[in-house]
Amino acid sequence: MTSKVWFITGTSKGFGRIWTEAALARGDKVAATARDATTLQPLVDTYGDLVLPLTLDVDDKAAVDAAVAQAITHFGRIDVAVNNAGYGLFGTIEEVSEAEARAQMETNFFGALWVTQAVLPQMRKQGSGHIIQVSSIGGVNAFATIGLYHASKWALEGFSQSLAAEVAPLGIKVTIVEPAGYATDWSGPSAKQAKPIDAYSEARAARAKFRSAAIPGDPEASGPAILKVVDAAEPPLRVFFGTAGLPMTKAEYARRIETWEAWNDISIEAQGDLKAKQAR
């Protein structure tokens, strides 16, 4: 198998670090980015020239463009781009401040958009490439107390599905990875919390109870899984990581269809009959 060149954001820890190590361990090359590049020194110590450590804040579009250009100059190409950088913002819709809402979208949505736009010219030139967008089961479901995180991931999913249709004729693949709960620090040190309002205590307690009952996945198991996704001849547009995603989302879509069907008479009424109206 020909080795691949990866560009991965958010590689200081979590999925980004595990996937970086999985790629490097099999001989692939990785442009590994993090806000603090000193966290990447152990990768350099272990894998040497296979890894290019880069300081990057994905909120900064100019910095994204420069990092991608540096990676291409260094390695000559980018075969796999992984938009992993992101965090969870906990808070009800009323609780979240303007600054918190904008910051959430800047990182989780716009950061992924900037990286995607930056790698596409090179992938078009190559006539190949694979863009991995790290979404969440929260990209196809929504729960109380984390609405802005959902908004960022639903936006990511929407632009990525359009992207997939646009770039398929160019030989470029797109996959949206939708992890369930894992034993990472996503809801711990990496998370941000809006200032709580007492009226929403019950909603927070219910969500906490639900999350405490969930069995987290092993992050290390996602390393071999992501390699299978990027090595597939025909990779999926969407793939769940973890066991919770499929049953949860099947139930969610069943509820949606039930509601749409129950209200379909209103849908039909709202259509009207413009042709008959114009004929009068």
Q: What is the rounded CA–CA span in Å between residue 275 and residue 237?
A: 38
153 given a catalytic annotation: yes
Dihedral (C-alpha) 263, 265, 271, 273: value to the nearest 10 degrees? Answer: 180
- Dihedral (CA of 66, 25, 11, 144) sign: positive
d(CA 31, CA 68): 9
Catalytic residue among 12, 135, 152, 222: 135
Tokens of 273: 């009959």
Structure tokens at 180: 């369930």
Residue 90, SS3? strand
User: For residue 111, what is the enclosing H or E element?
Assistant: helix 111-126
From 149, 152, 160, 182, active-site residue: 149
Q: Would you give per-residue pLDDT tens digits along the chain (280 residues)?
A: 689 999 999 999 999 999 999 999 999 999 999 999 999 999 999 999 999 999 999 999 999 999 999 999 999 999 999 999 999 999 999 999 999 999 999 999 999 999 999 999 999 999 999 999 999 999 999 999 999 999 999 999 999 999 999 999 999 999 999 999 887 766 667 789 999 999 999 999 988 888 777 788 899 999 999 999 999 999 999 999 999 999 999 999 999 999 999 999 999 999 999 888 888 8
CB atoms inside a 10 Å sphere around CB 205? 11
What is the spatial distance between Cα 93 and Cα 239, in angstroms, rounded to a whole number? 28
87 in catalytic set? no
Reported as a single tens digit per residue, the pLDDT across 33-76 is 999 999 999 999 999 999 999 999 999 999 999 999 999 999 99
Helix (H) or strand (E) holding 155: helix 147-167
Domain 5-243 is of which CATH architecture?
3-Layer(aba) Sandwich (3.40)
Domain boundaries, the chain: 5-243, 247-280
Vertex 233 angle, CA 25 and 220, to 5°: 35
Close Cβ partners of 146 (under 8 Å, ≥ 6 residues apart): 88, 89, 90, 91, 138, 207
193 with 153: CB under 8 angstroms?
no
Residue among 4, 29, 153, 173 flagged as catalytic: 153
pTM comes to 0.94
Q: How far is CA 162 from CA 67, 145, 172, 237, 258, in A?
A: 25, 28, 13, 11, 26
Confirm whether 13 is a catalytic residue: no
Task: Write the CA distances from 9 to 83, 86, 121, 179, 215, integer angstroms.
Answer: 6, 9, 18, 16, 27
